[in-house]
Structure 1
Amino acid sequence: MGKPDEQSGRRYTEAEVRTILERALRGAQARDVSHDELVAAAEEIGISRDAIEVASRDLELVRGEDEARAAILARRRKGFRSHLSSFLLVNAFLFAINALTPGPWWFFWPLLGWGLGLAFHARAALSSDVSPRQLRRESERSAARARSEQLLRLKEQRRVERLARKQRLEQSAEDLGQAVEEGVATVLSRIAQEIRGSAPPPPPPPPPAEDAARRRRIAPLDADDAESEALGEEEADRAARPGRSRR
């Protein structure tokens, strides 16, 4: 085994670099690598960012073509399986009719004609040849499907955001209404307290019915006493007058 300084002085060709990297990636732990990590690793060995960008776009195109080819072949095979199921069911039904009814055997004529068409269909379905035109059309169809799915996701996201915004507005309006009601109640309570603090004292309660009657009974007696006192004073004045006249 060579020393580290001897290993660092070795040079590798492009094919050797590719082979070493492929073996290292196979031996490393499998994980996804981000684009930034790929660019950083390439710059470590002297590959520019532009070269990585071009290679990644080419890889995306190749990946898109592979996905389009796989979708086309899968659709072909699915159509052939459906065709084969229809062929077997219908021809079994025709055979049963021909066997249960008197007369010559005629079911093999539609069997042969349909079987010929099924053979051509099988040849096209089991073939892996795909024309560039078909690949382009499939890529356009996939792109349109991806755009439609993205639009649906955006619509659903906007609908969820509108619903959340509506709920927030309703909650804010409810909180504001409660705050206004509490504020109005507080203001009214303070005003009532101020009014009660500045109002004059209430008048004394009216006397009961018994006190009023007693007062009415006492009032005539007081008038009689005053009249008696007035009569006594007049008599005293009369008695004093003759004495004054005799003198």
Structure 2
Amino acid sequence: MAKPGKQSGRHYTEAEVRAILERALRDAQTRDVSHDELVAAAEEIGISRGAIEAASRDIEHVRGEEDARAAILARRRKGFRSHLFSFLVVNAFLFAVDALNPGPWWFFWPLLAWGLGLAFHARAGLSSDVSPRQIRRELERSAAQARREQQRRLKEQRRVERLERKQRLEQSAEDFGHVVEEGVATVLSRIAQEIRGSAPPPAPVEGAPKRSRIAPLDADEAEDESEALGEAEAERAARRGRGGR
């Protein structure tokens, strides 16, 4: 068993613990720490998981308030810069118009009036004071914006899922149609084969040349066969006429 070190019996106050941890975190390599790692490290020094969870919620709340405060100040300064740019451009244009036209000077009247309004705007826009009510409204605004963004993502995901489901159904219907067409064509082919196999061969005509059952007749052979049939029929009619006399 290892002997305890010289520092094993030393105790620290809460302020010293906080200072030591802050110094260690500041001197350590900078990286993001997960929530589970933070809980595990706290449990090593005897801090319960519930205390870490409560502290993390407080830190997240403070971080949210700081982000809301920064967003409010950034929006104020952006509005003041836009106002200042408009003030300079418009009053420079009024000064040019007044300088190019004869008569008494008048451009300073709108300059003074507008400058008074710009001064009040600068007082509010460059101020770092943010009331708790403004922070609360900014947090509510951010939460509403996050909900809208989440709803938009859910709608987009559902739309993609519906489109994919529709494409799958159309593909399944197309495949089923091909299968049905192939099946119908196969059944019709079999029926045609059975009909051709069960049909009796045509009776041969007396005097007509016999033809093969295997090889089909071409156009010339069909014409010769038709002429032979006609001649045989004419010969039989002549015989019947002579027998009648």
Q: TM-score, normalised by structure 1?
A: 0.76
- CA distance in 2 between counterparts of 1:112 and 1:48 reads 64
* Residue 202, structure 1, aligned to residue 215, structure 2: no
Moved more, 186-195 or 41-50: 186-195
CA-to-aligned-CA distance 1:69-120 (integer Å, 9 cap, x gap): 1111111111111111111122112222222222322322322232222122
SS at match of 1:5: coil
Aligned match of 1:28: 28
SS at match of 2:78: helix
CA-to-aligned-CA distance 1:104-157 (integer Å, 9 cap, x gap): 223223222322221221121111110011111111111111111111111111
* Residue 47, structure 1, aligned to residue 47, structure 2: yes
- CA distance in 1 between counterparts of 2:143 and 2:107 reads 46
SS at match of 2:165: helix
- CA distance in 1 between counterparts of 2:193 and 2:12 reads 96
- CA distance in 2 between counterparts of 1:149 and 1:181 reads 48
- CA distance in 2 between counterparts of 1:190 and 1:200 reads 14
Aligned match of 1:243: none
Aligned match of 1:137: 137
Aligned match of 1:151: 151
Aligned match of 1:5: 5
- CA distance in 1 between counterparts of 2:38 and 2:190 reads 72
Evaluate the alpha carbon distance shift between residue 193 and residue 21 of structure 1 in structure 2; reply closer, same or farther with a 3 A threshold: farther
RMSD of Structure 2 on Structure 1 (CA): 2.8
CA-to-aligned-CA distance 1:18-71 (integer Å, 9 cap, x gap): 233323333333333322232222222221121111111111111111111111
- CA distance in 2 between counterparts of 1:74 and 1:24 reads 33
- Write the letter of the residue equivalent to 1:89: V
Evaluate the alpha carbon distance shift between residue 124 and residue 202 of structure 1 in structure 2; reply closer, same or farther with a 3 A threshold: same
Identity, % of aligned pairs?
Answer: 81
Q: Give the drift of 1:190.
A: 3.3
Aligned match of 1:170: 170
- CA distance in 1 between counterparts of 2:91 and 2:8 reads 74
Aligned match of 1:87: 87
User: Which stretches in structure 2 are left out of the alignment for 5+ residues?
Assistant: 210-227
Q: Give the drift of 1:191.
A: 3.5
SS at match of 2:6: helix
Evaluate the alpha carbon distance shift between residue 114 and residue 205 of structure 1 in structure 2; reply closer, same or farther with a 3 A threshold: same
Aligned match of 1:14: 14
- CA distance in 2 between counterparts of 1:145 and 1:180 reads 52
Q: Give the drift of 1:203.
A: 4.0
Q: TM-score, normalised by structure 2?
A: 0.76
Q: Give runs of aligned pairs for residues 79-118 of structure 1, distance below 5 A.
A: 79-118=79-118
Evaluate the alpha carbon distance shift between residue 171 and residue 94 of structure 1 in structure 2; reply closer, same or farther with a 3 A threshold: same
Moved more, 140-149 or 113-122: 113-122
Evaluate the alpha carbon distance shift between residue 28 and residue 182 of structure 1 in structure 2; reply closer, same or farther with a 3 A threshold: farther
CA-to-aligned-CA distance 1:159-214 (integer Å, 9 cap, x gap): 111111111110111111111112222233334444445x265245442328948x
- CA distance in 1 between counterparts of 2:186 and 2:6 reads 89
- CA distance in 2 between counterparts of 1:54 and 1:21 reads 19
* Residue 74, structure 1, aligned to residue 74, structure 2: yes
